[in-house]
A and B are shown apart, each in its own frame.
Chain A
């Protein structure tokens, strides 16, 4: 610990212990359930690709067919590979097509047939995992060849035109202008689609559909930029919504470098069923761990619906939970882009000192995590000039407190999804602050007993109290009661619950087996 805040190590250890206590029952739940999306991810690893003429992926058609015959609780791998043998074919996508046409029946085999189906499934899924491994090795090679960004924080920029062919030149322009990480924001509504659209897309609203082909196109474009610029430009997308496990898998297969992947965002902000989310979460994190992907958590979002001063401790609590869930799924500290944000109302007296206290608290609690520092959004207005000033202070807080990933704030935040010129002006702001004060964190040590130290310790104290309370009930109850982002989300409600099933005694998921064996 760097020790600028005098945090009591006993309290910090206690906070981690309480997070473990609150999180463990959720992990147990995740380990004993599966979802349609987890099973579709398994089939993607096993090699099922493409979509039917209506654009519904074959993985969906195949899972639906298996569920109709034998339910979800056994996992689809064994019934699928059993059917493959009985049909005398080797191509799983062809099997999906036959199943969709209604010409295949699925069963849960026993005895020798079961053993054979298990090992065939395991072989096929292992081949998919090996493809992810190769992409990870390729990333390592490219980073070695082109190099990492010279400075910290890494500069993270968003593109969001809705059209992948507009996004590409914008992303390349942003990289040339200094972006180290490009995030392609998803179209509104995608998170509630219970399938992953196929192919290159041009018609998203306020974002571009996340598809395997769009991932591939953008990664290829940024590989060109990396070569041109002599630094590896990273690519981010979203493993969130109803298809989290599949998104993670596709990201691994297409060498994305970071994924938004919060344990509770879908529950709170998309009203997705809590159990569905936690089950999908765990699988997606296991895939991210394997793929060497850095996750970005979403604590910043709470502060858009709740007050950033009153509810600061809920961010800390969520970070501790996200850390626990991440470690449990096999992610290493360097992969934890824990989120937090500069969202205090600028009218609040000493708002900047409060921001510094919160940002430094996160830095000191998670010294080895990169930390994703999010810009002001909620208190941005149509006054773009004032917005540019606030963004300057945000950048300053980021460098003073050693944040790892800086999501560049746009002065037009309250108006439009960023224009080309907004991005350029925002980058100029970042460059000025990093150029003028990039090393200031060395000199910045808040006074002992002073405002910043007191505030940070107060927030930690409140976080501990909340964790104690969550421990007395359960995390699911806390979520149901609106503890995070003041959104109330009961465990028996929300979207996607129908796609959840408890494991049967013979549940088999070769992907989880492989991913857990490695961890």
Chain B
């Protein structure tokens, strides 16, 4: 962070420090004066004060949609922000291959799948298939990686079995459907199954990914790493080398 940048910030509308935000939401009430008042009250409780209801539209029976503008009182302390920063070096495909070859001296085995009832494979395929994404080739393209892509709607027991059979160093799981927290339930079930099936030292590295994950939830979900929206295969390969080889050797 540059020295001149303030650590405490507010939202920016059109002037520094004005704190202006815009939110929209629906209340389950018919549109009338009281409904608009209710919207203001909610906005106030969210820290928006003064709050202006700039749009209110009745929807069907007993619902109203609001757009609210206003000044939010909350401050953001940039020093207190918690995110998962990339704590490993980004390596080229060539470097990844070299490190694995020289230091692991065998192929690194990766097993990937979409678990539960989720059938969205485009994300995991983007990471694993040669075709890749965003101009980067997927993990299959890496000579020193052995990739097994199990595809969609794989059950947790099937995944554990495949990980065992392939002697997986890492298991990569994708979860895209999030309604009713399906992605969280499935991930917990998966990590618990691995904990049950294999002793700590023998367990593969557990990685989940998908567009709606919170990357800070690794402990809660029992996994080693979470990758979110816009992940590229290069990041994943670099992380694998870091977690399974460089860091591990450094700790040993």
**Residues of A in contact with B (beta carbons under 8 Å apart):** 162, 169, 172-174, 176-177, 187-189, 192, 205-206, 269-271, 304-305, 382, 414, 416-417, 419-421, 424-425
Contact = CB atoms under 8 A, between A and B. Distances in A.
A271 B179 contact: no
B122 A205 contact: no
A271 B151 contact: yes
A173 B60 contact: yes
Interface of B: 24-26, 57, 59-61, 63, 65, 116-119, 121-122, 151-153, 177, 179-180, 182, 211, 229
Contact of A172 (B24, B60, B119): B60
Contact of A421 (B61, B65, B211): B65
8 contacts: A172-B60, A173-B59, A177-B59, A188-B116, A205-B180, A420-B65, A421-B25, A421-B26
A206 B182 contact: yes
Contacts of B65: 420-421, 424-425
Contacts of A177: 59-60
Contacts of A162: 179-180
B117 A205 contact: yes
Contacts of A192: 117, 153
Given A162-B180, A305-B122, A419-B26, A189 B63 contact: no
A270 B119 contact: yes
Contacts of A205: 117, 177, 179-180, 182
A420 B24 CA distance: 12
A251 to B, nearest CB: 22
B133 to A, nearest CB: 13
A162 B182 CA distance: 12
B211 A189 contact: no
A172 B63 CA distance: 13
A206 B179 contact: yes
A421 B61 CA distance: 13
Nearest to B28: A420
A421 B153 contact: no
A173 B182 contact: no
Given A162-B179, A205-B177, A205-B182, A414 B211 contact: yes
A304 B180 contact: no
In this complex, the member of A205, A269, A414, A417 whose beta carbon has the largest number of chain B beta carbons within 10 angstroms is A205
B180 A188 contact: no
A188 B177 contact: yes
Contacts of B182: 188, 205-206
Contacts of B63: 173, 420
The 10 closest A-B pairs by CB, nearest first: A189-B117, A173-B60, A188-B117, A206-B179, A421-B65, A424-B59, A421-B26, A206-B177, A205-B182, A176-B60
A419 B179 CA distance: 12
Nearest to A486: B131
Nearest to A487: B121
B60 A188 contact: no
A420 B152 contact: no
Given A269-B119, A270-B153, A271-B151, A421 B177 contact: no
A200 B57 CA distance: 33
Nearest to B24: A421
Contact of A189 (B25, B26, B153): B153
Given A189-B153, A414-B211, A424 B179 contact: no
B118 A188 contact: yes
A454 B59 CA distance: 44
A420 B177 contact: no
A422 to B, nearest CB: 10
A420 B26 contact: yes
Contacts of B24: 421
